[in-house]
């Protein structure tokens, strides 16, 4: 028996800044996980990943990350993805710096 499909979001790193980004339903890259498109169909997820991979002038390393529906949008499931939503950990810059202000 096959396992049930776990919904996904498409994530990558912005080519110029290196920030973690997520693909939205309207084909924008956002830095906010809760704005990402939650893809609940495996075939559609693969198509969205191919679309992201073709955007080489914008992002590097796109992949599908497990997520779940939350009250404000998709929420990460795995620790690695939760960690990536917080920004770099070596010193305060990017998302961490903005949150400290």
Task: Give the model confidence (pLDDT) of 8-43 as tens digits.
Answer: 999 999 999 889 999 999 999 999 999 999 999 999
| pLDDT for residue 7 is more than 60 | yes
- Domain positions in the chain are 8-88
Number of helices (H), then strands (E), in the chain: 3, 5
Residue 2, Cα to own-chain centre: how many angstroms?
Answer: 25
Residue pair 20/84 in contact by the 8 Å Cβ criterion: yes
The H or E element containing residue 76 is: strand 73-76
Structural Rg of the chain based on CA atoms: 14
Global pTM reads 0.84
Coil, strand or helix: which one is 87?
A: coil
DSSP3 helix / strand / coil % (the chain, rounded to 5) = 30, 30, 45
């Amino acid at each position: 028996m096959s396992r049930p499909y776990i919904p996904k979001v498409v994530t990558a790193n912005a080519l110029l800044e290196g920030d973690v980004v997520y693909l939205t339903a309207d084909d924008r890259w956002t830095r906010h996980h809760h704005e990402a498109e939650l893809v609940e169909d495996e075939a559609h997820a693969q198509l969205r990943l191919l679309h992201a991979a073709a955007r080489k002038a914008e992002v590097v390393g796109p992949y599908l990350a497990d997520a779940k529906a939350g009250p404000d949008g998709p929420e990460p499931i795995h620790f690695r993805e939760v960690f990536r939503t917080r920004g770099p950990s070596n010193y305060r810059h990017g998302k961490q710096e903005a949150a400290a202000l």
